Amino acid sequence: MAAVAALATSSSAYPDILTPAGARAAIRDGLHTGPTAGMAPGFVQGNLAILPRDLAEDFLRFAVANPKPCPLVAVSEPGAFRIPSLGADLDVRTDVPRYRVWQDGVIVDEPTDLHRHWRDDLVTFVIGCSYSFESALMEDGIEIRHISRGCAVPMYRTSIQTTPAGRLRGPLVVSMRPMSPANAIRAIQITGRLPNVHGAPVHLGRPDLIGIADLSRPDYGDPVPVGPDEIPVFWACGVTPQAVIEAARPPFCITHYPGSMIVTDLRNARLAVS
């Protein structure tokens, strides 16, 4: 974040990373290679899954069957590295700070662009992420614990199974945010209107009922304290599709590097359904 702030204010010669096109340009030009949190505030950032066409068919059905962990913001044409609905200039090969390239379920490269890895059979999925709903919650005055503490959100594998599709199957992964009951109720109302970025929580109050034995030991991310007057609130998490793809051990696929998202022209505020 410090680097982002410095970049944002250092010189007018640099692109304005407070805008989506400026953020993408800074990333594309190699001026920014870290996390995208704080870039283009107010605009949707997405998780990325880039899959060969045959696995993409399975994944599209998986996403439709599991919209809470896997809300689709956009799907590219096969082989297309542009997704005009997310930004006229957007190029999925260059506009993410860092990628992960997987072969047979193993990370084989973490490049800053995909020129060496691009193939004409690849389909790109942009999946909604919790940055958008966290922004809406904070605008309502609700504290987001892991943001206050400057750490990653705690995430847990649950005993809830996703609906399988083809080769893709696995447990639902959830993120957890502690809140007072009154704030939990507000948060449900607010995020329920944002189905494209995970929507309403899937669970609250009783981690044991979804197979979470110890909140202080998340499977991903960092633990955060739950106050004596608070309850844990659980949202379906975008790590779910990544874990499901990883478990399927496809011969080849690409994801974003954790925290390094794709920045789009879509406004968070326009995600709300009525």
Binding site for a second copy (CB under 8 A): 181-182, 184-186, 188-189, 192, 200-206, 209, 229, 231, 274
CA 269 – CA 71 distance, rounded (Å): 16
Least distance in Å: CB of 44 to a second copy?
Answer: 22
Structure tokens at 110: 């973490």
Least distance in Å: CB of 199 to a second copy?
Answer: 9
Judged by beta carbon, residue 121 or residue 229, the one nearer a second copy is: 229
Q: How far is CA 13 from the centre of its chain?
A: 30
CA 52 – CA 41 distance, rounded (Å): 32
Structure tokens at 142: 């609700």
Least distance in Å: CB of 208 to a second copy?
Answer: 9
Least distance in Å: CB of 232 to a second copy?
Answer: 10
Least distance in Å: CB of 185 to a second copy?
Answer: 5
In 10 A of CB 53, how many CB atoms?
Answer: 13
Residue whose C-alpha is closest to residue 118's, from 27, 26, 251, 254: 254
Judged by beta carbon, residue 86 or residue 202, the one nearer a second copy is: 202
Distances (CA, A) of 115 to 30, 92, 225: 14, 10, 42
Judged by beta carbon, residue 187 or residue 239, the one nearer a second copy is: 187
147 has which bridge partners? none
Distances (CA, A) of 219 to 8, 83, 251: 34, 33, 25
Q: How far is CA 73 from the centre of its chain?
A: 11
Judged by beta carbon, residue 108 or residue 269, the one nearer a second copy is: 269
In 10 A of CB 163, how many CB atoms?
Answer: 12
Least distance in Å: CB of 16 to a second copy?
Answer: 35
Pairing of strands 155-161, 122-128: unpaired
Least distance in Å: CB of 149 to a second copy?
Answer: 23
CA 137 – CA 126 distance, rounded (Å): 22
Query: Does residue 76 contact residue 264 with C-beta atoms inside 8 Å?
Result: no
